[in-house]
Amino acid sequence: MIRLAVEDNLFRKDQFDLKYVKSTLDKWKASGIDTPLKARNYILDSHVSNIEVMASEIAERNHNDDLKDKILFGSEMKDLQGTRDYLIELYETGRYDMLLSFAHTTYHKDILDYLPEEVREYIQKHSA
């Protein structure tokens, strides 16, 4: 958890301080984030939310509604979030062949780190 909090706060570059890491850990604890899986997904969802806000602001400043979609389409984090959500949906709807196929063809090699344990275990168990 500490490593994830440090990684999440590295974007501060010259402003990096361990107080930010402690603040992150305190926020996670207060929010019930108590596993690396929950922390990774919280970080991912927070970053995507920030990207969406920034993309909306850029599109609004440029009077170009399509610009938001172009920015989001190019976001690897947004794509990772969508891949995670789609794999979970495939598992929950019992579309296991598609789940395994998509899990093995995605370019997100760390996708298993973002999936609930039961989905991750299913993929690992049925991988050839």
pTM: 0.81
CB 50 within 8 A of CB 75: no
Q: What pLDDT is attached to residue 14? A: 64
Q: What pLDDT is attached to residue 71? A: 83
Q: What pLDDT is attached to residue 128? A: 65
* Residue-level pLDDT, tens digit, the chain, 128 residues: 988 888 887 766 667 678 888 989 999 999 999 999 999 999 999 989 988 888 889 989 999 888 888 888 878 889 999 999 999 999 999 999 999 999 999 999 999 999 999 999 999 999 86
Q: What pLDDT is attached to residue 33? A: 95
Q: Where are the domains of the chain?
A: 50-125
Q: What pLDDT is attached to residue 106? A: 95
At 122 the three-state DSSP class reads helix
- Name the CA radius of gyration of the chain, rounded: 17
At 30, phi and psi to the nearest 5?
-65, -30
Closest-CA residue to 1 (of 32, 25, 27): 25
Q: What pLDDT is attached to residue 9? A: 79
Contacts of 4 (CB under 8 A, 6+ apart): 36, 39, 40, 43
Contacts of 59 (CB under 8 A, 6+ apart): 65, 66, 67, 68, 71
